[in-house]
Chain A
């Protein structure tokens, strides 16, 4: 009997704990665990909480990346304990959750923040699924620029190249001067991001979206031409042993004067700055050949899961603060990224950041803002494209080229048969 009594007490404590969980703090899940990213999110949460004293939100780090976030979310959705809001990638990352009815339609919030006016068209289309917004953009980085060391370029008497011939010529000169020409890093993303420039140069903006929607096959002559342009220019320029390095190790090579150029997302600028490598003085950027006037971007948005009314209220108030010009600047400055909100004052950026902002604004006007293809493709196609591209960049043999094309083309056909593609 006594045991039963204790058992009852334990059950009561557990029930109390779960009730407390339901009424507990409203959480914002993200994977900004350190450095400038962490500073950015903490500043934003503090700003939003100051604006919404009755709807406080608490940040919670999910260590890892988008994949680890998916794992945690999946478990949370199964247990019916999702966060109030979370950091999400764009396009297909959102769509998967929308299709399963897990995300809250943010149409009302979108109208309040005038989303159609404050965000560029290319940005809007990757947070809307079937015309409805499910994400609030806040962290945008361009991925079509090449960073270069000014000291190395000056010493070798070089100017930033404008086209692919110029790029190869610069690489040859750097190599002759004993410097590795172009840095890259191992993993399924970086070679892929580098490849977008030759791809866009070959298939154009329209072709890029056609690949994203599955209309243009991986076995098309245009895609093969893009692949071969990548092989004959960038792959030829890559530094020795690039595939064994992380992107920060390659950035260190640029800082240490071992590598002349590095094509990486805009976040590399924040890393350089932290390493004491000052923008404009020590390093600068130029758009990768073929992407002048265009902006290819990677972006994160806040997504809001369905939940109880008070949790939704807190989440909505948070994302409204995060979407405001002040909120976007609060995050973008410490993080070193761009604010997707076009009403943000460009004077908040440093010299290189201002270049990125101009590039985005010009591309917006020309309707040439291209989202990262990886997230426009059905998840399994995008992931395989990254893996195959890395393999091809390590060994650009004909066999690997043909394997890349056949593997991806069969995946494209499979995904099309399943109706997995979407026109963004």
Chain B
């Protein structure tokens, strides 16, 4: 006859151990993730300057006011442009560089470092470098264009509202391509040589080998790079703030910089919180399908 009491005690002890182990991450998650979100949402229903003792309850007014502001929509549109750019720009360039280097170029290790190096520089330093590169009269970019006879293409890089976002994206491309490159390069090196050789023996051209064999096998790397790009597009703040403060006249503003300006530039904590709730919802809508896909793949892999 099974000793039910012993089994029950064992089960209780194991349950207790699990609970103890789980309590720390759950507490951390609740304190540092759940509580700030709930608190931010609560604050978004109030009007508060950040200092006075009692925030004033205003219901959904902050949300409604934002929906009536062209400034808010402009920032949302900028975030979406950044999303498209970050999904396509650094990803494609990183893939291209990785594919080129994977063909066994001379000085591969040097190029590997050179391509990755910008990614190791802090955002504020990148911004300082590019602020000088983009100086419209005697900056490096304008000087180079003038010296090759293309001075007509030189722009007021950071001062023209219709140009500034492209200029910022240029600096971001320089800064973040290294990450995509590294992930793709590692992915390419992990593809078994037999697959490539088999394709070649079957008469595939290098182009076909890349698109029909290598690229599909790079899917795990692509998922990582695209996911990070989407997250970066939503939380974008540092490079924009350090280079333009969202200007000139809101032209390069994204939701995170607008939130910062509203909170600390204008003392409107409630409205800034409402912006961050909108940002959370938009980021959730964009990123959740990705997380869902990722979770599904992990489940499938575990099932296999």
Q: Which residues of A contact B (CB under 8 A)?
A: 67-68, 70-71, 74, 77, 96-97, 99-102, 186-188, 240-246, 249, 253, 256, 258, 379-380, 383, 387-388, 390-391, 394
A259: nearest residue on chain B (CB-CB)?
B137
On chain A, the residues within 8 Å of B268 by CB distance are 380
Q: In the complex, are the beta carbons of B51 and A99 less than 8 A apart?
A: yes
Main secondary structure of the interface of A (DSSP, over half): helix
What is the distance, in angstroms, from B215's C-beta to the closest C-beta of chain A? 40
Ranked 9 nearest A-B pairs via Cβ? A244-B159, A243-B159, A100-B51, A391-B249, A241-B136, A244-B136, A241-B156, A244-B156, A380-B266
Q: Report the Cα distance A188→B251, complex, angstroms.
A: 12
Q: Given A186-B248, A187-B245, A244-B156, decide whether A379 and B134 contact each other with a Cβ distance below 8 A.
A: no
Q: Annotate B145-184 by CB proximity to A: 1 below 8 A, 0 otherwise.
A: 0000000000011111100000000000000000000000
* Complex CA distance for A245 and B243, rounded to whole angstroms: 11
A70–B264 CB distance below 8 A: yes
Assess whether B137 is in contact with A258, with CB atoms less than 8 Å apart. yes
Taking a contact as CB atoms under 8 Å apart, the answer to whether B51 and A96 are in contact is: yes
- Is B265 in the interface zone, CB < 8 Å from A? yes
What is the minimal beta-carbon distance from A415 to any residue of chain B, in angstroms?
A: 11
By size class, the interface of chain B is: 20 to 34
Are B51 and A186 in touch, CB under 8 angstroms? no
Residue on A with the closest CB to B49? Answer: A96
13 more contacts with CB within 8 A, not counting A240-B136, A394-B160, are A67-B265, A70-B267, A71-B263, A96-B51, A186-B244, A187-B248, A240-B156, A241-B137, A244-B136, A244-B156, A244-B160, A249-B135, A394-B248
**What are 20 pairs between A and B in contact, CB < 8 Å?**
A67-B261, A74-B50, A77-B51, A97-B51, A100-B49, A100-B52, A187-B248, A240-B156, A241-B137, A245-B136, A245-B137, A249-B135, A380-B266, A383-B265, A387-B247, A388-B249, A390-B249, A391-B161, A394-B161, A394-B249
- Check if B25 is an interface residue, CB within 8 A of chain A: no
Assembly CA distance A187 to B246 (angstroms): 9
- The answer to whether B137 and A253 have CB atoms under 8 Å apart is yes
Q: B50, B53, B159: which contacts A101 (Cβ < 8 A)?
A: B53
B250 at the interface (CB under 8 A from A): yes
- Partner among A77, A243, A249 whose Cβ is within 8 Å of the Cβ of B248: A243
A378 vs chain B, min Cβ distance (A): 9
Residues of A within 8 A of B263 (CB): 71
**B266 near A387 (CB under 8 angstroms)?**
no
Query: Considering only CB atoms, which chain A residue lies closest to B262 in the complex?
Result: A380
User: Does B131 lie at the interface of the complex (its beta carbon under 8 Å from any beta carbon of A)?
Assistant: yes
Instruction: Please indicate the chain B residues that have their CB under 8 angstroms from the CB of A70 in the complex.
Output: 50, 264, 267
Q: Give the residues in chain B near A102, CB-CB below 8 Å.
A: 51
Residues from chain B with a CB closer than 8 A to the CB of A253 are: 137
> In the complex the two chains form, is B135's CB within 8 Å of A244's CB?
yes
Task: Tell whether, in the assembled complex, residue B160 and residue A379 are in contact, meaning their CB atoms are under 8 Å apart.
Answer: no
Residues from chain B with Cβ under 8 Å of A241 in the complex: 136-137, 156, 159
Identity of the chain A residue whose Cβ is nearest the Cβ of B167 in the assembled complex:
A244
Q: Is the CB of A244 within 8 A of B158?
A: yes
B158 nearest in chain A by CB position: A244
A188–B52 alpha-carbon span in the complex (Å): 27
Report the Cα distance A88→B267, complex, angstroms.
15
Of residues A100, A244, A380, which shows the largest number of chain B Cβ atoms within 10 Å of its Cβ? Answer: A244
A377 to chain B, nearest CB (A): 12
Looking at the assembled complex, report how far the CB atom of A99 sits from the nearest CB atom of chain B, in whole angstroms.
Answer: 7
- Chain B residue nearest to A391 (CB atoms) is B249
- The residue from A99, A243, A249 contacting B156, defined by CB atoms under 8 A apart: A243
Known contacts A99-B52, A258-B137: A186-B264 contact under CB 8 Å: no
What 0/1 pattern do residues 127 to 141 of B give for CB contact below 8 A with A? 000010011111000
Complex-state Cα separation, A68 to B263, whole angstroms: 11
B50 partner residues in chain A, CB cutoff 8 A:
70, 74
Q: How far apart sit A138 and B136, CA to CA, in the bound complex (Å)?
A: 36
How far is the CB of A69 from the nearest CB of chain B, in Å? 9
User: Are A96 and B267 within 8 A (Cβ)?
Assistant: yes
Chain B: which residue is nearest A100 at the CB level? B51
Complex CA–CA separation, A174 to B77 (angstroms): 42
Residue of B nearest to A74 (CB): B50
Question: Are B247 and A187 in contact, with the CB atoms below 8 A?
Answer: yes
- Bitwise, B266-298 to A at CB < 8 A (1) or not (0) is 111000000000000000000000000000000
User: How far, in Å, is A375 (CB) from chain B's closest CB?
Assistant: 13
Q: Smallest CB–CB gap between B143 and chain A, Å? A: 14
